[in-house]
């Protein structure tokens, strides 16, 4: 007949098992953080060209914000209905680099203009909501861009460049 022992009180050995299990759980919690962190691209990866997501929710109508993608400034302009209407009304024949407003925005997201913030003349960074056409003004040599980032006056030969981007939802875009 085999004798079985029951121990109503936790023995020292039980306590050791419990203590070891607790340390194991804490250790797992600490190792999880660096793992999750590694899943986000680090600064050098982003600078090298990883896509970035931008939450549009905080950008009010009429506001322009600048984010950085591939070490370049990207202007995101939340245009008001009046600004969209004004931009759509521009005659193509009056443009140096003819492009319609629709060609410079995404269907269904007309208020949003996303352009690379580098002057197409010699690469200065234009100033938002300045100049004769309400878009950007480049102070280096006097280029004026309109509400769709189209060159209207000055030495810049072409419109501000549109980066590759897509809408992930009505309030979020991915650039790159």
Q: Contact residues for ligand FES (CB under 6 A)? A: 119, 121-124, 138, 140-143, 154-156
Q: Which residues pair with 78 in a beta bridge?
A: 112
Pick the closer one to ligand FES by CB: 52 or 124. Answer: 124
Residues designated as active site: 141
Q: How far is the CB of 71 from ligand FES (least distance, A)?
A: 18
Cβ pair 47, 71 in contact under 8 A: yes
In the complex, minimum distance from the CB of residue 164 to ligand FES, in angstroms, rounded to a whole number: 23
Phi-psi region of 142 (alpha: psi -120 to 50; beta: other; left: phi over 0): left
CB burial string 72-83: b at 16+ within 10 A, e below: eebbbbbbeeeb
CB closer to ligand FES, 96 vs 124: 124
The answer to whether 40 and 84 are in contact (CB under 8 A) is no
């Amino acid at each position: 007949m085999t004798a079985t022992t029951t121990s109503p009180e936790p023995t020292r050995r039980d306590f050791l098992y419990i203590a070891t299990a607790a340390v194991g759980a804490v250790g797992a919690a600490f190792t999880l953080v660096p793992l999750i962190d590694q899943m986000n691209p680090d600064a050098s990866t982003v600078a090298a060209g990883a896509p970035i997501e931008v939450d549009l929710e905080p950008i009010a109508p009429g506001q322009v914000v600048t984010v950085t993608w591939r070490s370049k400034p990207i202007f995101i302009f939340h245009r008001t209905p009046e600004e969209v209407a004004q931009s759509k009304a521009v005659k193509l024949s009056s443009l140096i680099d003819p492009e319609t407003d629709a060609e410079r925005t995404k269907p269904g997201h007309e208020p949003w203009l996303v352009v690379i913030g580098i002057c197409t003349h010699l690469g200065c960074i234009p100033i938002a909501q300045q100049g004769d056409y309400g878009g950007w003004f480049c102070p280096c040599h006097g280029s004026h861009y309109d509400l769709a980032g189209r060159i209207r006056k000055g030495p810049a030969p072409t419109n501000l460049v549109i980066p590759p981007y897509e809408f992930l939802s009505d309030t979020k875009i991915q650039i790159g």
